[in-house]
Amino acid sequence: MEQFDPFLMLDEFGSDKPDDYIAGFPPHPHRGFETVTYMLEGRMRHEDHMGNVGLLQGGGVQWMTAARGIIHSEMPEQEEGTMRGFQLWLNLPGKNKLSDASYQDIQPENVPSVSTQAGVQVVVLAGHFDDGQVRQAGAVQRPDTEPLYFDFDMPAGSCISPHVPEGHLVLLYVYEGSVELEGSTQPIGKRQMARLSDSGEVQISSAAGARLLLIAGKPLREPIVQYGPFVMNTKEEIEQAIRDFREDRLTA
């Protein structure tokens, strides 16, 4: 996914072949943004320079705010079976890019879910879900970008119309089945993404059933300069991040 303010990247990962995931992600740095890892299947262990150790497993969420700097690793806690999930990169405003790093490990039992009157199962990872009939606060609330992050499991013939705050930009990513949007004749199929700039009600239906993510956020409208795992506002700030990492001062 190309940058879509305030989102920097959405990566889907998934394999039932251990050779694809067994190497994991040894210690590496980040600065200037947040990473949100949502696991559908599998087990991954997180460790970082702050001493945090967490186990991310199916249905769980890891919300990591790199801010000034974090060095962490993500290594599989399994030698067979399926590893499947998503990692979202969410930008931070310039005023917070050099604040303290933080980490939240949210276990599956602490991630809220609700069922709509149409039978759609909604996992509410972040923000507030509201379709006018059912309301549910998510596992995480964040300032500035005020993100929404929902996972919808839509049975065949169902529809859903979640409210999106005015000014938010919306991403829809279908990872199973297909959906239709009101006013569009083109369905969104498996592994396809739609970007919506309209706020208010988003009306989604699925004739055959689908699983999809709805991710929305308030644009920061700030310059974005990225170099690998560093995301800042200026080239000079990126150069400083590289120097800090090379001189072991990234997390100081």
User: What digits encode the pLDDT tens for the residues 192-226?
Assistant: 999 987 667 799 999 999 999 999 999 999 999 99
DSSP 49-78: TT--EEEEETT-EEEEE-TT-EEEEEEES-
Structural domain range at position 20: 7-109+222-246
pLDDT in tens, 57-77: 999 999 999 999 999 999 999
Calculate the alpha carbon distances from 8 to 92, 95, 134, 168, 175 in Å: 10, 18, 30, 15, 19
| Tally of domains in the chain | 2
With respect to residue 132, please indicate whether it lies within any of the assigned structural domains: yes
Q: Are residues 116 and 213 in the same domain?
A: yes
Q: Are residues 195 and 179 in the same domain?
A: yes
Q: Are residues 19 and 89 in the same domain?
A: yes
Q: Are residues 124 and 213 in the same domain?
A: yes
Residue 19: pLDDT band (50, 70, 90) is confident
Binding residues: 28, 30, 72, 74
pLDDT in tens, 93-141: 999 999 999 999 999 999 999 999 999 999 999 999 999 999 999 999 9
With respect to residue 251, please indicate whether it lies within any of the assigned structural domains: no
Q: What is the CATH number of the domain that holds 99?
A: 2.60.120.10
pLDDT greater than 90 at residue 169: yes
pLDDT greater than 70 at residue 14: yes
Q: Are residues 178 and 96 in the same domain?
A: no
Q: Are residues 137 and 101 in the same domain?
A: no
Q: Are residues 45 and 78 in the same domain?
A: yes
pTM of the model: 0.95
Q: Are residues 136 and 229 in the same domain?
A: no
Q: Are residues 103 and 50 in the same domain?
A: yes
With respect to residue 2, please indicate whether it lies within any of the assigned structural domains: no
With respect to residue 252, please indicate whether it lies within any of the assigned structural domains: no
With respect to residue 1, please indicate whether it lies within any of the assigned structural domains: no
With respect to residue 12, please indicate whether it lies within any of the assigned structural domains: yes
What is the enclosing helix (H) or strand (E) of 244?
Answer: helix 235-246
Residues 6+ apart with CB under 8 A from 56: 37, 39, 43, 44, 45, 46, 62, 74, 105
Q: Are residues 159 and 196 in the same domain?
A: yes
Q: Are residues 81 and 129 in the same domain?
A: no
With respect to residue 170, please indicate whether it lies within any of the assigned structural domains: yes
User: What is the biggest distance separating any 2 CA atoms in the chain, rounded to whole angstroms?
Assistant: 57
Q: Are residues 58 and 147 in the same domain?
A: no
Binding residues for Fe cation: 28, 30, 72, 74
